[in-house]
Amino acid sequence: MSDEDQDFLEVNPDSTWLEKTTIGGFRVWHIIAICLGIIMSIIIMVCCCVRFRIPRTKQEIEADYQRKQITKKFREKLQQIKNSEMDDMDLQKAIEYILSNYLIKQCNSVESLDKDPNKLKNNHISVIDNIKV
């Protein structure tokens, strides 16, 4: 054997404690590796299974709430479309359909306001401007 092979086979006195046999014939470094593996597995499982709350700003929370309300109203309007009309329906056509129904109702409410101006106090008309789909 050469000198390099003998140097490689010699045990460093500083790391001899890692090679001591302990519980069940395992060495110290085996026990350390097993413990670290178990701890990492537990951490990974907890992170994957538990949903942590991510802090958000007040604006983000209000915007999410507004999106949910709009989505809820849109779903309600989609439920009013007949099943026979849904065969060739896509998002664009559904939006156009709901918008046309909305505009028809607005025209009817404006006509009824022309007949009875006192209804203006109780009737709120919202205007849709610059709709780009």
DSSP 66-85: HHHHHHHHHHHHHHTS-GGG
* 53-57, 60-64, 73-77, 97-101: the lowest-pLDDT one: 53-57
Q: How far apart, in whole angstroms, are the C-alpha atoms of residue 11 and residue 17?
A: 11
Q: Residue 124: pLDDT above 50?
A: no
User: Cα-atom radius of gyration of the chain, to the nearest Å?
Assistant: 36
The letter for the amino acid at 21 is: T
Given a contact cutoff of 8 angstroms between Cβ atoms, the answer to whether 131 and 110 are in contact is: no
Most confident of 15-19, 103-107, 121-125: 103-107
Q: Residue 26: pLDDT above 90?
A: no
Q: Residue 117: pLDDT above 70?
A: no
* Residue 111 or 66, more confident: 66
